[in-house]
Amino acid sequence: MTVMRYAESLNAALREEMARDPNVFVFGEDIGTYGGVFKVTRDLNGEFPGRVFDTPISEQALTAMAVSAAMTGTRPVLEIMYADFMPLTLDALINQASVFSYVWEGQVDIPFVLRTQGGGGVGTGAQHAKSLDALVAMIPGLKVVAPVTPADAKGLLKAAIRDNGPVIVLEHKLLYNTRGEVPDGDDLLVEIGRARTVREGADVSVFATSRMVLEAEQAAEALAAEGVSAEVIDLRTLRPLDLDAIVTSIAKTHHAVVVNEGWGFNGYAAELSATIMDHAFDLLDAPVARVTMPDMPIPYAEPLESQVIPNAARIAEAARRVLA
């Protein structure tokens, strides 16, 4: 094991996959000489000449380019600097990437990865701090992953690059400097579509995505001091969803809290709650509780921002509510 920062583990995944497969290339805004806003692509430009490209600011065109390149047999990895700009990519994602294999009866693969980061917590304001998970997770034909730990960041990104379909990798700006153990070697792959049990529990299941997993762990610690045993599940993959892991956990605890940093109305937590009701209603002893952003822009001022982003205290309160 090697202790690495989250950003370093992503960098290692890109380096290893580019060394393994000459068809892998990386492009995006400021990812070459500058190494990316969060330094995920640091030094790759020099190590792989001609395979790391800086681009103009045109997310719509870049995503269409990635789809076209993937159709020719290469494996492009596109970085969209902020998730807030994901709406500009939707035409290529909805009308091209997600459907081409279907409309051509599997004769064409679209093996490309779109990386982006979102989430609040550092005062970047309403145009650079959104969590738009639901925007891409709703699209059939796409896979969507949201790693939390450095090991999962490396393993899921490598798995995404090797996948023969389009995969969206959602990162969080507050995770880039977190540290964790990462297995040595270049063979680390994390299966897409498999959740991770972070903490075993018997009273309530907390299903969380991205950085909210860390908040859920803190909430579980607080609840444990009160005699409440909370099970924390890191979904890791937003689509396809590990439904077996969700149902198995609820069968044990009979209570569910879902946590997502996106908006509540029509958000990912809303879909997850509905899915639980569809598949585990008879196992529940109380309605599913949701912990999300309120339906409003993210404030710039730090005191206001901290009030609207879901946190451990709100998660713990939701758990108490369903248990009551």
Percentage of the chain beyond pLDDT 90 is: 97
The class that CATH gives domain 196-323 is alpha beta
Query: Which pLDDT score, from 0 to 100, does residue 186 have?
Result: 85
Pick the catalytic residue: 17, 128, 217, 254? Answer: 128
128 in active site: yes
The class that CATH gives domain 2-182 is alpha beta
What's the average model confidence in pLDDT over 183-195?
Answer: 93
- What three-state secondary structure class fits 43? coil
29 in active site: no
Write the pLDDT tens digit of every residue in 214-224: 999 999 999 99
Beta strands in 223-285 (DSSP E): 230-234, 237-239, 256-263
What's the average model confidence in pLDDT over 155-171?
Answer: 98
Residues 131 and 253: their CA atoms lie apart, in Å, by 28
Residues 55 and 69: their CA atoms lie apart, in Å, by 15
Query: Which pLDDT score, from 0 to 100, does residue 185 have?
Result: 83
Q: For residue 240, is the peptide bond before it cis, meaning its omega torsion is within 30 degrees of 0? A: yes
Pick the catalytic residue: 17, 29, 59, 305? Answer: 59
The residue to which tokens 């299966």 are assigned: 191
Write the pLDDT tens digit of every residue in 268-318: 999 999 999 999 999 999 999 999 999 999 999 999 999 999 999 999 999
Domains 2-182 and 196-323 share a fold: yes
Could you give the C-alpha distances from 218 to 46, 94, 213, in angstroms and in order? 41, 37, 9
Could you give the C-alpha distances from 83 to 115, 127, 168, 169, in angstroms and in order? 9, 9, 11, 10
Q: Where are the domains of the chain?
A: 2-182, 196-323
What's the average model confidence in pLDDT over 245-272?
Answer: 97
- Between 122 and 248, name the one with better pLDDT: 248
Write the pLDDT tens digit of every residue in 75-91: 999 999 999 999 999 99
Write the pLDDT tens digit of every residue in 1-55: 999 999 999 999 999 999 999 999 999 999 999 999 999 999 999 999 999 999 9
The pTM assigned to this predicted structure is 0.96
Mean of per-residue pLDDT scores for the chain? 96
